Structure 1
Amino acid sequence: MRALFYFLLSWPVKLLVRCKVIPESIESLDIGDGKSVFYVVRHQSASDLIALQVACKKLQLPDPLEIVEINGKSMNRCICLARPSSIFPWVTSQPTNAVQQGLDLLQHHQKNPQADAQLIPVNLLWGRAPTKQKADVGDVLADEVSPNFMRKFWIVLFLGRETLAKFSDAVSFRQMADDHGTDEKAAHKLIRITRFHFHRQTIAAKGPRLMDRQQKFTALFATPAIKRLIKDEAKSKGLSEAEVRKQALGMMKEIAADYRQTTIRLGERILGWLWNRLYDGIEVRNGERLRKLSEEGHEIIYVPCHRSHMDYLLLTYVIYHQGLVTPRIAAGINLNFWPAGPIFRKAGAFFIRRSFAGNRLYSTIFREYLGLLFNRGYSVKYYTEGGRSRTGRLLQPKTGMLAMTIQSMLKGIDRPLTLVPVYIGYEHVMEVASYHKELKGSSKQKESAFGIIKAIRKLRNYGKGFVNFGEPININEFLNKQVPDWKDSIDPIDPPKPQWLTPAVNVMANEVMTEINKAVALNSVTLTALILLASENQALTRKELEQQLDFFLDLQRKAPFSADIIIPEESGKELVDAVIKLNKVEITDDEMGQIISLSKQGALEMSYYKNNIIHAFMLPALVCRLLKSYDKLNFDEISDKVIQMARLMRAELYLWQNKDVIAEQVAEILDFLASKDMIKQSKAGYWSRNNDCNKTYLLNLLSSCINETVQRYSIVIKIINQAAPINRSDLESSATTLAKRMSTLHNINAPEFIDRKAQAAIVNALREWGYIKSDEQGCFVANEQLAELNDILVHLLDEDVLQSILHS
């Protein structure tokens, strides 16, 4: 009868329910051989169990409706924590036999030392709407706290298509029995921990109790900082407090989000259609980091790189599909135009002006609004770069939002705040053409409804998108290391701006950008761009390009830039097919085959994609360049020279490796090149190139990837040696002028090559590492070690380029 009941009920439930399963594969659940698997769910509900059955089938897990024999005793494979509530409010629901089932399983493991059953907690969520401060009719109909069968009917009917099944890591009954015993107390503890785990998961998926905008405004006006400021503003400007409150309310309305779950649900469906139209797939990595943080009670602050306006939509969509509540997003005020502004606001966006311009009232309100979000437990997303990168490289971080985040902590937030760096990459960025126009001096186009319509008309296949969640940075732990006594500055009413704040924020911002770059995603376009732009005349035969791609991929697989890097699984041939499909290269056919090249405009566009990943190949390229430039070098000589160059490039490219890691990676690179028979080591320990050109042409092209970087350093050093003492402004101006000359002489199209900010970054690096110093007048002069660095650079430059620099 039980089997017949579930069979008959499964038809309407399967028709009404669409279950999103997280994770999407069984590998991350750690369930061993999967033979002795049990499940624990929140509610003893037939619809829950049938939805679980469907989810288990997707993951190829045992059927949760099966009966299992344990010590001759029949047991349900699924443990349910609570029975449905009665339709009559005066009738109290009886507890389930969850504790007894847990006790039976623990005692089974006590009697059978070889037994090791696994318990998988599965949280079934019907809908993702957060609980509101004030309940309405919808909340009553969709109440999920042990709903009775009438309420469950409405839940399945209206929310069945929004069902989420979150599978957690399996718990070993063997470990529980060994560590906590096998008595009733241990069984109760197991059930209690599971209930708390489900509560944390539910908050992570739905978010904390939702405040509407008016409740936020009321809460903000009640803060001591805003109360005090209103009085001060009224007194200093000769206005009434009511007039200042009106100004403050206008600013709050300009800033505050108006989150609506219906907008998120509708947006998810539209974006699902859009991504299928635009992309060949969205590759997401390390989503388990987010789930672990949220289930441990961390407040997550997403800090992604910023490539495109697509970032807002893509990252929010990905987070939602990781089973987590979508964050409140800090968006530039330029996006607050009709109709996008109201839609973004309802999707959780709050708007920030580009500059506070000394507006004390606005800055205080914004800081208090951000603090309110943190205090209420909302996850937040903001872009530390402040705007989209026009060159493809990470921009210097804007530290304002990070500073306000730490200042919010100084009010005594009692939960851990954790930054999650996010690398976002694309095989095609739809704004690249406009970026290059802006870099050439064109004014930035203002966002508008017409711009959206124009962009929609141009929608086409954009290849793949990539979202990689980097290593989280716990702000509490970071401050404990950087400023051990930071908690002494906590003031719940009006926290000060301590002296340690700015230096600590600068270090944190640099760490965020470094973690973003560690999570780099290689793809067909970025790799092809890097290779073709390093090639003579920016052209290769198809066979050569395929070989170079296979070589670059193999290098990263054997000597990876970082543990978080995304490396394509495709072959070089498949990557070339993908690039051709995206119309990123020009194809010339002759009797001997295909030649793949870049047009002048194509080279300019592809420089953007090259800059997305150039940092991941900087160390291998340096090693190859040294081996090409010197007849022989031992390991220590190679490592020392690479370390000198890499530390200069660290601030510009956000390299993460320290001296020890660089030495380890240099050894891995040398071993890889030796395995390819491109280099050899003498009995005395010296490394040199193989003389067979068929073996080394791959190495030579990789070495060319650093051409423009070492040229820019040589330009700055040449001017210092020639014109010192020289002030910063003249140095940067002269370096930029010479860079422009070099770009004309040697056909260099990279925008960052002639960017004055890039020259300033080189000057800062030279000063930081002691290669130059300031004299009494504040002008730069060379230190002794600059000559040693210059000697390395001279060896790394091509002869014709060196002559152009020396004779300019």
Structure 2
Amino acid sequence: MAERKRWFHSLLELPVRLLVKGTPIPERPVEEHLLDPEKPIVYLLKDDSHTDKVALARRCKALGLPDPFEPLQIDGREQSRVISVEKASRWLNSDDAGLPFRTQVLGILEAHRRSDELDVQIVPTGVYWGRAPGKEKPSLLAGLGDKSSPNWFRKMMLVLLLGRDSFIRFSKPVSLRQMADDFGINDRTAHRIVRVARVHFYRQRLMVTGPRLADRQAMFEQIVATPAMRKAIAEEVQAKSKSEEDARAEAIKYLDEIAANYSSNMIRVVDRIMTWLWNRIYRGIKVSNAEQVRSLAQSGHELVYVPCHRSHMDYLLLSYVLYYEGLVPPHIAAGVNLNFWPAGPLFRRGGAFFMRRSFRGNKLYSAVFREYLALLFQKGYSVEYFTEGGRSRTGRLLPPKTGMLAMTVQTLLRGGCDRPITLVPVYLGYEHVMEIGTYMKELKGKRKEKESAWQVLSAVRKLRNFGLGYVNFGKPISLTNFMNDKAPEWRDSINELEVQKPSWLTPTVNQLSQQVMREINNAGALNPINLCALSLLCAEQRSLSRKALEAQIALYLELIRQVPYHSQTTVPEEDAKALVSHAIELDKFSVVEDGIGEIISLEGKNAVLMTYYRNNIIHMFALPSLIASCVLRHRQLSEESLYRTVSEIYPMLKAELFMDWDEEGLKQQFAGQLNALENLGLITRKGELLQVPEHRSSKRNQLILLANIIQETLQRYTITLAQLTHNPGLERGQLESSSQKIAERLASLHGISAPEFFDKKVFSIFISSLREGGYMDEAEGPAKIKSLHQTISMLLATEVHQTIDEAVA
């Protein structure tokens, strides 16, 4: 038998080397799963397949893991390093598999009885050939790879057709020592491991391929037959005097407009294209916190990805990353503006489903879309949608649109999903956004161009090196836990037949949307471009010597390392010098040698463009910047007075920048930031008073640059507050318009390049914050407005304050 296995191994090695890629998931399993190389490792496979073992052996060698064909010595006895749950289907389905799985596990467990120091690590390892989920009613041809334990002929065809699309998924190791200690060394424990292993591999396959695909037309018929759709069709008949047949046909027409037509073959083609594309335009993609998402998928959660929206690249980037993390690409809610030929049909086969910008006035369309989304959840497809609604033109997170979140909550109220629904916030960042030039034109008043094939071809033609892309998964939000906390009575509203709109739905969904946006910002990524932009845009003439720029970035890195913004935030490992060099290579900054050293600056259009990247991370430095502003303007003040000022302004910053700290969290962050600024020499103490470093000190200059980060935000606040102080009865619409006009004047007079400085939406957020904080109350409002105005205006430069006063008077 051993001779036969060695012969078979040798026979398979050459074709596997030539035909099989075997992408590992995760990329570095030893580090990510904390595998201990000093302890024995046994691989647990689903199938006793020679081909799988040979593919695994090649990948293990590259990863520094033990060879699965190398026998394991345990207590002086030779033990196979691979055990399999299922017997092999070999040579015309003959049964010549080795010992049953449970017997092998029990043998290794018994070895732990003989040695107290022994701790075998069992690593569940899935080998997947392709990612086709199969169909609910498979065709004869589709059935080729649609069997979980294929015989030798099927396996040969899978290797030939899908060898380049194979994945090897290493799961977290199971300690047999712990199993022995917890459950005993007996047949029941071995049986328990067998049962858990079968469930594990079932869930893992579902995680990798997704559920079986329904026939599209059969799915349409299933949707229009639901009680909610029958009711919606009846209402359409009554309201518009249509026949039931016509209303039903219109519902199916809407479904055809909306529904995805997912194809695993298209995903394979897109994988090839995207691999070429990323290699052409990006230097790489950095992915963080993915393991928590894989763990949720493995546990059977219904995943709803809610990323920020920077670019049309977002759709492709997230799906590409998920694909290589061993997760099935999600069904993606896309604007109907993207449903143009030829992109629309391609997107649809890649998992996109299309939605109109507004459902208002069309109850039938609204019902159809809601039922389609509920069916996706019911069948177990992961879903992706952008809560901002559209792409951010300024680099800031946009105020969330709550429609999709409301429908997700309503699915929970329908009891339409048996699995726990979990929202996964995702921060997407780029060192270059493809549409950045177009965004700036739109912010200056140019009308948004309609998407078209020519626009896509024009963008592709201009592709070049865009640096790095960043995909950071934020802290998942369990929908059930959130509802239990915010609306404990939600279970009373569960109704399988009716779409529920209880009184608590809107405020709860609003809170949920805010939490999603905060978690996206919590998972932000610092990178060379946004750090350079943050530094240079705060400098006079937007220029710094290279030495000063490196020192300022080093300061920001040290601040964020000493006082992390959040555990999900990522910080570059490189030092400031390397980050500046990387940023210069991307050709976004002007570099001039003047005989003393290099001067790095932002000129003309680039200064405007860089505000986009600065805005990606401004929330991370808003608090230390506010502290710096207070100390600089007051020259010296007590810590108590400083905190009082910060806590008065913070609620406005929290609403605008989607910051996450409550009152207690703010106190901790304030104390940490203040301590860090003292450690770094930017703030000193004289008795109980805080003060700034001496004049002409490099530390003082660094403090000024830090303070300037938040200055434009404080200027906008002062514009609105000054008007309310002079005219408390000003209506909201008029207040927003006049604030915008004054901001445009201030920008012209003081060289402010940020387009969002006079964005009416940003003023609207601030006014909403004032209303929520009681500043617009008729009784106490005027006094509170006056106090806040005095507090913030004290932090502005005299000339800026004078410009605002002249405009308001």
Q: Secondary structure at the match of 1:757?
A: helix
Task: For 1:379, give the aligned amino acid.
Answer: S
Moved more, 596-605 or 138-147: 138-147
Aligned to 2:463: 459
Whole-angstrom distance in 2 between the partners of 1:94 and 1:161: 28
Amino acid at match of 1:788: S
Please tell me the residue identity of whatever aligns with 2:789. N
Say whether 1:356 aligns with 2:355.
no
1:694 and 2:698 correspond: yes
- Cα deviations across residues 672-710 of structure 1 (Å, max 9, x unaligned)? 22222232234x443222216122211111111111011
Which range moves more in the overlay, 723-732 or 433-442?
723-732
Alignment of 1:588-667 (within 5 A): 588-667=592-671
Partner residue, 1:803: 802
Q: 2:478 aligns with which of 474, 477, 491?
A: 474
Give the match for residue 130 of structure 2: 127
1:41 aligns with 2:39: no
The equivalent residue for 1:778 is none
**Matched residue, 1:538:** 542
Query: 2 CA distance for matches of 1:8 and 1:346?
Result: 39
Residue by residue, what CA displacement relative to the aligned partner does 1:228-282 show, whole Å, maximum 9, x if unpaired?
Answer: 2223322332222222222112111100111111100010011000000000111
Post-superposition offset of 1:312: 0.7
Secondary structure of 1:807's counterpart equals: helix
Instruction: Report the TM-score when normalising by structure 1.
Output: 0.96
Structure 2 length as normaliser, TM-score?
0.96
Q: State whether residues 56 and 68 of structure 2, in contact with CA within 8 Å, keep that contact through their aligned partners in structure 1.
A: yes
Deviates further, 426-435 or 541-550 = 541-550
Cα deviation per residue 1:461-495 (whole Å; 9 max; x = unaligned)? 11111110000001111111111121111111123
For residues 422-501 of structure 1, the aligned pairs below 5 Å read 422-501=426-505
| 1:253-332 to 2 correspondences below 5 Å | 253-332=256-335
Question: How many angstroms does 1:571 deviate by?
Answer: 2.4
| AA of the residue aligned to 2:723 | I
1:238 to 237, 241, 244: 241
Correspondent of 1:187 among 181, 187, 190: 190
Partner of 2:554: 550
Q: 1:82 to 1:570 in 2, by over 3 A?
A: same
Quote the offset at 1:88 in angstroms.
Answer: 5.8
Residues 402-431 of structure 1 deviation map (CA, whole Å, 9 limit, x = unaligned): 111111111112210110000001111111
Contact in 1 for aligned 2:588/2:606 (Cα 8 Å):
yes
Cα drift, residue 205 of structure 1: 0.4
Q: Is the 8 A contact 2:286 2:471 kept in 1?
A: yes
**Counterpart for residue 68 of structure 1:** 72
Comparing 203-212 with 244-253, greater Cα deviation is found at 244-253
Partner of 2:747: 743
Q: 1:401 to 1:93 in 2, by over 3 A?
A: farther
Aligned with 1:761 (options 739, 745, 765): 765
C-alpha deviation, 1:95, in angstroms: 7.4
1:391 aligns with 2:390: no
Shift of 1:94: 6.3
Residues 348, 143 of structure 1: CA spacing in aligned structure 2 closer, same or farther, 3 A cutoff?
A: closer
- RMSD of aligned alpha carbons: 1.7
What displacement does 1:32 show?
Answer: 2.6
The share of aligned pairs that are identical, in percent, is 45
Report the Cα distance in structure 2 between the residues aligned to 1:191 and 1:476, rounded to whole angstroms: 31
For 2:90 and 2:261, locate their aligned partners in 1 and report how far apart those are by CA, in whole Å.
36
Q: Closer, same or farther in 2 for the Cα pair 1:542/1:719, shift >3 Å? A: same
State whether residues 302 and 380 of structure 1, in contact with CA within 8 Å, keep that contact through their aligned partners in structure 2: yes
Q: What SS is found at the alignment partner of 2:777? A: strand
- Counterpart in 1 of 2:19? 16
For residues 781 and 490 of structure 2, the distance between their equivalents in structure 1, rounded to whole angstroms, comes to 39
Query: 1:154 is paired with a residue of what secondary structure?
Result: helix
Q: Any idea what SS the aligned residue of 1:14 has?
A: helix
Which residue is equivalent to 2:421? 417
Give secondary structure in 1 for the equivalent of 2:794.
helix
Structure 2 CA distance, aligned partners of 1:95 and 1:356?
61
Segment of structure 1 superposing worse, 239-248 or 601-610: 239-248
Deviates more, 1:726-735 or 1:463-472: 726-735
Q: Distance in 1 between matches of 2:641 and 2:448?
A: 47
What displacement does 1:4 show?
4.3
Mapped partners of 1:93, 1:473: distance in 2: 48
Kept after mapping to 1: 8 A contact 2:88/2:95:
no
SS, match of residue 772 in structure 1: coil
What is the aligned partner in structure 2 of residue 210 from structure 1? 213
Contact in 1 for aligned 2:134/2:146 (Cα 8 Å): no
Q: Match for 2:117 among 103, 114, 117?
A: 114
Determine if contact 1:39/1:121 at 8 Å carries over to the other structure. yes
- Give the letter aligned to residue 172 of structure 2: D
Of the structure 1 ranges 504-513 and 572-581, higher mean CA displacement relative to structure 2 is found in 572-581
Q: Per the alignment, do residues 676 and 86 of structure 1 end up closer, same or farther by CA in structure 2, a change over 3 Å counting?
A: closer
Q: Which amino acid in structure 2 is aligned with residue 649 of structure 1?
A: L
Shift of 1:187: 0.5
**Alignment check: 8 A CA contact 1:80 1:96 kept:** no
Q: Is the 1:639–1:662 Cα contact (8 Å) retained in structure 2? A: no
Aligned to 1:377: 380
> The residue matched to 1:588 in structure 2 has which SS?
strand
**Structure 1 counterpart of 2:729:** 725
Contact 1:331–1:352 under 8 Å retained in 2: yes
Q: CA deviation at 1:718?
A: 0.9
TM-aligned CA deviation for residue 34 of structure 1: 4.0
- Does structure 1 conserve the Cα–Cα contact (< 8 Å) formed by 2:48 and 2:97? no
Taking the aligned partners of 1:679 and 1:406, their CA distance within structure 2 comes to 48
* Gaps in structure 1 of 5+ consecutive residues: 776-780
Alpha-carbon deviation of 1:304?
0.4
Verify the 8 A CA contact 1:423 1:519 in the aligned structure 2: yes
For the residue of structure 1 that corresponds to 2:400, the secondary structure is coil
How many angstroms does 1:36 deviate by? 1.1
Residue 141 (structure 2) aligns with: 138
Unpaired runs of 5+ in structure 2? none
Partner residue, 1:583: 587
Partner amino acid for 1:669?
A: Q
| CA-to-aligned-CA distance 1:365-422 (integer Å, 9 cap, x gap) | 0000000100000000000000001111111111000111111111112210110000
Residue 569 of structure 1, CA deviation: 1.9
Contact 1:770–1:783 (Cα < 8 Å) also in 2: no
Is 1:54 paired with 2:54?
no
Describe how 1:563-582 pairs up with structure 2 within 5 A.
Answer: 563-582=567-586
Task: After TM superposition, give the deviation of residue 732 of structure 1 in Å.
Answer: 1.9
Cα deviations by residue, 1:309-337 (Å, 9 ceiling, x for unpaired):
01111111011111000100000000000
Distance 1:638 1:569 in 2: 33
Deviates more, 1:590-599 or 1:262-271: 590-599
Q: CA offset at residue 574 of structure 1?
A: 2.2
The answer to whether structure 1 residue 519 and structure 2 residue 523 are counterparts is yes
**Which shows bigger deviation, 254-263 or 591-600?**
591-600
Give the counterpart letter for 1:164 in structure 2: F
Q: CA deviation at 1:806?
A: 2.4
| Distance (whole Å) between structure 1 residues aligned to residue 400 and residue 188 of structure 2 | 52
* 1:175 equivalent in structure 2: 178
Q: Which whole-Å deviations, capped at 9, do the CAs of 1:139-173 have from their partners, x for residues lacking one? A: 43224422222222112221211111111111111
> Is the Cα–Cα contact under 8 Å of residues 290 and 325 in structure 2 kept in the other structure?
yes
Deviation at 1:306, TM superposition (A): 0.4
